Structure 1
Amino acid sequence: MCIVAIAWQLFDELPLILLSNRDEFLQRPTEPLHQWTDKPIFAGRDEQSGGTWLGIHQEIQPYHHQNGRWVAVLNFRDGAQASDNERSRGELVTDFLTSHLSPMAFAHQINLLDYGGFNLIIGDTQQAVIVNNRGHAPTPLYAGLHVFSNGQPEDSWFKTERLRSRLRQEVLPLISENSAFEYWQDAAFAALSDTTKAPIDKLPKTGLDIAIEQALSSIYIEPIALSNIETTMPTYGTRTQSILTVSYDSKSINLSEKYHLQLNSREYQHTQHE
């Protein structure tokens, strides 16, 4: 259960500004943001499946070459049971970053039935496309602010509308004043760290118990016991917070991450790459 916000082609200097929270089981082994040695990818890595949830293309040699390709993937929460033969959604990220297809061409060639439910946002400096395997055909993003979570792209969940509002009021005006990352990053991470939960009457109906649904309704999910909300041992929460920006000419690509090592004490490691 993750969330992704994209300011697409709103600013001349930064055609892409992407903010993301990755929510995951705490025991799932994960590597923080780094340059992969086996693929031309700069990203965190899910050690269990080998893929990732958000990344950019970057080659190690000769000079950390970047081509402006980026991807984010979210799971789709609809109560459908996972199949044992489903491919990892993280492979969609690595497959696009290592391909030469345009975002739209790549989206059209995905074998949708191979994966569990997903929302996939793929792009470069020229085009951004969203597609899922729950009936949403590949669609280019229009210039504007887009916020996606684990439902249909057009769904208005409490957490998506709250993040949209905070970005419009607190973050985008700062970027308009000064697009330098250092000027607005604190406000952006503050918006991603909002723990306000939805009122009962604003919860989506996804088949989950109401108490668990409410615990998952905030932008930032504090550590919880996902299977039983009344237990004291947390099993799930926001693991990683990321901000990705791409300049118009692709010469400046910044991916900054807060990787939560010990969620109970809110300790984290902050890695930034330019």
Structure 2
Amino acid sequence: MCLIAFAWHVHPRWRLLLAGNRDEFHARPSAPLAHWADSPITGGRDLEAGGTWLGATAAGRCCVVTNVRDPRDPQHGASRGLLATDYLNGPDDALVHARKLVDTASDYRPFNLLTFDTAHGFYIGNRPQARAQAIEPGIHGLSNADFNTPWPKTRALMQRLRHWMDAGHEEDFAPLLAALADERQAPDETLPDTGVGLERERWLSSAFIRGEQYGTRASTIVAIDYKGKGRIVERRFGPNARFDGESELIIR
């Protein structure tokens, strides 16, 4: 994933309500949202490295991973997507998992990881050094920088999520999907400087990225209630924002 906003323990129905976009090279092979035959995971699947960018299980667990945008940082180490599958397939709850992962986080490519179970949520990252942070109840955001870094598109999506909640929505996810489809770019004076140059900062500043070779591949909503039951909605896109289908699955 490259843009995430989520509400944790603040919505009256949904313990976790998450909206996010996955931006990736269109040539990278991936499978759409599905119940995995060889695992309890419900999610999309990276067919190159075998992991996932977002997944959930019937045990009320969810995991999301992003990269860290810094062209000066070498992409060495194990695939980030394996962090998500290891957590979702593993025996440890979010608290124990976070404590263990800090010790091995340097073995992976630069990452941000969100893990949730029925009681806890954690942010774990390995840049500039490994750390784990418990997630407090509230509305939070994450992109390709540190947790809750106020990039314009992150702040905007968090605001759209707050408005969705204030409107009393429970199952109408259309406004959140519309927020994820927003192609408006941020003003230059608000852009971060991540070392990719002004033109690319502008292009990457919108929630939805349109491109021939690289862009938004999937827009996803995850909703998990206080009993651990939930569902995932995924819209998929090809080069230049070509619509490639939509799926909705009960997490099981």
Q: Distance in 1 between matches of 2:154 and 2:93?
A: 28
Deviates more, 1:38-47 or 1:87-96: 38-47
After superposition, residues 1-274 of structure 1 pair within 5 angstroms as: 2-57=2-57, 66-79=58-71, 80-83=73-76, 86-110=77-101, 111-134=104-127, 135=129, 137-169=131-163, 171-174=164-167, 177-179=168-170, 181=171, 184-223=172-211, 234-250=212-228, 252-260=229-237, 262-264=238-240, 266-274=242-250
Give TM-score, length-normalised by structure 2. Answer: 0.93
Q: Distance in 1 between matches of 2:39 and 2:242?
A: 31
Q: Which runs of 5+ in 1 are unaligned?
A: 58-65, 224-233
How many aligned residue pairs are there? 246
Q: Percent of aligned pairs with the same residue? A: 35
3-state SS in 2 of match to 1:188: helix
Q: CA deviation at 1:125?
A: 2.0
- Which of structures 1 and 2 has the bigger CA Rg? 1
Q: Distance in 1 between matches of 2:91 and 2:159?
A: 36
Q: Which has the higher contact order (CA 8 A, sep 6+)?
A: 2
Q: CA deviation at 1:136?
A: 5.8
3-state SS in 2 of match to 1:163: helix
Q: CA deviation at 1:100?
A: 1.5
RMSD: 1.4
Q: Distance in 2 between matches of 1:243 and 1:178?
A: 14
Q: CA deviation at 1:201?
A: 1.5
Q: Which runs of 5+ in 2 are unaligned?
A: none
Q: CA deviation at 1:178?
A: 4.2
Aligned match of 1:229:
none
